[in-house]
Amino acid sequence: MSKKVRWGILGVAKIAREQVISALKGGELTDVVAIASRDRNRAQDAAAEFGLPKAYDSYEALLADPEIDVIYNPLPNHLHAPLTIKALDAGKHVLCEKPIALNAEEAQQIEAAQKKSGKLVAEAFMVRFHPQWQRAREIVRSGRLGDVRAIHTFFSYHLTDPDNIRNQPGIGGGGLYDVGCYAIATARYIFGADPERVIGVFDRDPAMRTDRLASGLAEFPSGRHLAFTCATQLVPTQRVQIAGTRGRLEIQVPFNPRRDQPTRLMIDDGRDLIGGGAETEEFPPTDQYQRQGDAFSRAILEGSSLEFPMADAIMNMRVLDALFRSEESKAWEVV
């Protein structure tokens, strides 16, 4: 394809500046043409940094630009649903950062706006476009691991700054929203199914009131389980273990692999406990954000449907909703 889709960036969030804008600028089918911030100087500085032709001092001005096809929404979590809906109402396609909303009801409102507009909207789980995850799913489906029944996921980082948006409960801060959602989305991706019930335990920061440590169990059909821990005040760690009756697969850096370094999967047949039956598959450096942007742009140009539409995003929010209900009930909750 020779045509590129024109993108506008809604805000100057860290993920946009450090990951997504440069990825989109290097994409085969993506062209970043504008950025907006409620602070004119920040918008102009970002536009100059990345060589973007347009900078807007309001979100509304960006949405009104007829030369923009797609809006990327990396705003704080509480602004995901309202600004995504505004973008759809303005006739733009939208790629929105995760979690796409604060609950399933908000996600359904996005879906209603999407259907009314006829545009595409997706939740930005970039990991599903990385070859290591696509290969992991392929291995599971091939039967090489036998009957895959369990996934263990650990995702943590250390952040105690009360001014950081991830530590502000009123705008959707906390570990489950920020990184626990990955555990849910990737387990659904690997199992090819949705959990039926969940239970969660939480520890909240006594001052900030955000969930700084959350662990959960999710029961999938046919006796399959996800066990996960996510944390915002632990040593940075990422690991995913996928276990079957004949083998185990480990994704060593599952969520934030560096774009300039190779990634690895380890497959172990379990013949001993010291890796005697382990094999490694290595993948060359790639940019999962760029692959995500190109996939979304390709769907727009081809007029095709998305592999992960709003129904997928709504289900992920339903699982998160059930986990938060479980914190209150201290019991299993039906999804």
In tens digits, the chain (335 residues) has pLDDT values of 559 999 999 999 999 999 999 999 999 999 999 999 999 999 999 999 999 999 999 999 999 999 999 999 999 999 999 999 999 999 999 999 999 999 999 999 999 999 999 999 999 999 999 999 999 999 999 999 999 999 999 999 999 999 999 999 999 999 999 999 999 999 999 999 999 999 999 999 999 999 999 999 999 999 999 999 999 999 999 999 999 999 999 999 999 999 999 999 999 999 999 999 999 999 999 999 999 999 999 999 999 999 999 999 999 999 999 999 999 999 999 99
Q: What is residue 189's predicted lDDT score, i.e. its pLDDT?
A: 98
Concatenated DSSP letters of 90-140:
TT-EEEEPSSSSSSHHHHHHHHHHHHHHT--EEE--GGGGSHHHHHHHHHH
Q: Which of these, 163, 217, 216, 180, lies nearest to 316 by C-alpha position?
A: 180
Q: What is residue 325's predicted lDDT score, i.e. its pLDDT?
A: 98
Q: Which two tokens stand for residue 162?
A: 């009360």
In the chain, the largest separation of any two C-alpha atoms, in whole Å, equals: 61
Q: What is residue 88's predicted lDDT score, i.e. its pLDDT?
A: 98
Q: Are 194 and 188 a contacting pair, CB within 8 Å?
A: yes
Q: What is residue 2's predicted lDDT score, i.e. its pLDDT?
A: 59
- 261's torsion region: left (phi>0), alpha (psi -120 to 50) or beta? beta
